[in-house]
């Protein structure tokens, strides 16, 4: 396994919540558009520097997978404003880890021995417990997580699951798939803004500052696709989602989403369990 390649998405994706929350007057709509534009720019650069060939069907499927990613990102960015980065990211990461691990193991056959099933199930249990611990809210001055918030994250996570498993479904190189996927992300962000009647977003300065986060996403996405084809979906995704450490601690330290006492201890233990489960 190429560990450095597997960890690059974790670094790139982990700083995205910090970047978008540091941009003045940045709202979910600005962040979604900025990510779409930035990702598309990276995709076009890669597309122009590589000789690629793709059938019309594979191109459309790649485009569609990028649009599904936008659904997942909408879930995260909206949740940032409702419950905070330090709560959203562990829960979102845990849901993605569970979903992608089961898809890789049960659909793509990445677990083949009894030991792999035993360790895999134990790892999933650790991740579930870790997610539950990070969701604990005991402070009156912090944002709590309602059932509606949780259901919203679960539903939108489906978009991430479709996007992240796509590289194994098409017989083509990561560089070939990358351009149409990033164009799909941009198209998905535009459809979202039109559907929610937030067209003023195109004129707001925050949207263009958020393109920086889009560059980070594009770098992480390309390295993830390369890792998924080299290391397999399960390993590539699990390592990429260690970004939860960067984003959660960044939310607590840089974005001042303070946690104290039991809530802080539960979050730290929860993160440790997620990491241990991911490594297993």
Domains of the chain: which residue ranges?
3-279
107-116, 154-163, 194-203 — most confident range = 194-203
52's enclosing H/E stretch is none
Q: How many Cβ atoms from other residues are within 10 Å of residue 279's Cβ?
A: 11
Rounded to whole angstroms, how far apart are CA atoms 14 and 141? 25
Residue 37 — pLDDT band, cuts 50, 70, 90?
very high
Q: Work out the mean pLDDT of the chain and round it to a whole number.
A: 83
Q: Is the pLDDT of residue 144 over 70?
A: no
Mean pLDDT of 193-213: 95
Confidence of residue 203 (pLDDT cuts 50, 70, 90): very high
Q: How far is CA 29 from the centre of its chain?
A: 17
Q: Look at residues 178, 174, 214 and name the one whose alpha carbon lies nearest to residue 47.
A: 178
pLDDT-above-70 percentage for the chain: 91
Task: Quote the pTM value.
Answer: 0.81
Spatial CB neighbours of 152, under 8 Å, sequence gap ≥ 6: 75, 78, 79
CB proximity list for 118: less than 8 A, separation 6 or greater: none
d(CA 250, CA 6): 21
SS3 82: helix
């Amino acid at each position: 396994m190429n560990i450095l390649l597997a960890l690059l998405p974790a670094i790139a994706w982990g700083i995205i919540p910090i970047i978008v929350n540091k941009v003045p007057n940045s709202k979910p709509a600005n962040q979604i558009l900025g990510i779409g534009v930035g990702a598309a720019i990276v995709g076009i650069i890669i597309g122009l520097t590589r000789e690629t060939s793709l059938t019309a069907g594979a191109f459309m499927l790649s485009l569609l997978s990028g649009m599904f990613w936008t659904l997942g990102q909408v879930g995260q960015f909206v949740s940032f404003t409702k419950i905070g980065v330090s709560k959203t990211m562990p829960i979102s990461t845990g849901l993605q880890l569970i979903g992608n691990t089961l898809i890789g193991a049960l659909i793509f056959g990445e677990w083949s021995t009894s030991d792999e099933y035993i360790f895999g199930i134990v790892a999933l249990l650790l991740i579930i417990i870790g997610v539950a611990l990070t969701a604990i809210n005991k402070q009156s001055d912090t944002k709590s997580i309602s059932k509606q918030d949780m259901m919203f994250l679960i539903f939108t996570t489906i978009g991430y699951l479709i996007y992240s498993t796509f590289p194994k479904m098409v017989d083509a190189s990561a560089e070939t798939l990358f351009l149409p996927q990033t164009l799909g992300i941009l198209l998905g962000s535009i459809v979202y803004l039109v559907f929610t009647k937030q067209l003023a977003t195109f004129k707001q300065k925050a949207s263009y500052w958020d393109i920086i986060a889009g560059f980070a996403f594009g770098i992480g996405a390309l390295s993830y696709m390369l890792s998924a084809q080299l290391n397999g979906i399960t390993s590539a995704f699990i390592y990429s989602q260690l970004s939860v450490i960067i984003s959660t601690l960044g939310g607590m330290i840089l974005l001042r989403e303070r946690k104290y006492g039991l809530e802080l201890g539960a979050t730290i233990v929860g993160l440790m369990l997620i990491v241990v489960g991911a490594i297993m």
